[in-house]
Amino acid sequence: MKTYVICDNLDTLTGLRLVGIEGEIVGSNQEFTEAFNKVLDDKNIGILFISPSLIDSNQDVVNEVRFNRSTPLITTVQGAHEYQNATNTIAETIQHAIGIQL
């Protein structure tokens, strides 16, 4: 099973490529939709990392897959900018990942 990343940050993509994770950078919602659909069509991809800002701007599409498909597992990948500004706790991260309030 493969892992893939869709992000809007070159540093994030470069770092993940260094550990063997393929992916692509997108700059618009149209590019995101194309990349996202490509990942959904590839049955070998089991984990999909997406930048938080891309998830926020495409929340409905992402939730549709999260709630109605078993694969791929979709999670966020924080880039350097998001990591520096992160104030969330472990509980908030879990709540966001599974979509429920604890």
Q: What are the pLDDT digits (tens) for 41-66?
A: 999 999 999 998 898 899 899 988 88
CATH class of 2-98: alpha beta
- pLDDT of 78 over the 70 cut: yes
Q: Distance from first CA to last CA of the chain, Å, rounded?
A: 30
- Residue spans per domain, the chain: 2-98
Mapped to the 3 state alphabet, what secondary structure does the chain carry? CEEEEEECCHHHHHHHHHCCCEEEECCCHHHHHHHHHHHHHCCCEEEEEECHHHHHHCHHHHHHHHHHCCCCEEEECCCHHHHHCCCCCHHHHHHHHHCCCC
pTM of structure: 0.75
Section 86-90 average pLDDT:
57
Compute how many other C-beta atoms are within 10 angstroms of the C-beta atom of residue 63. Answer: 13
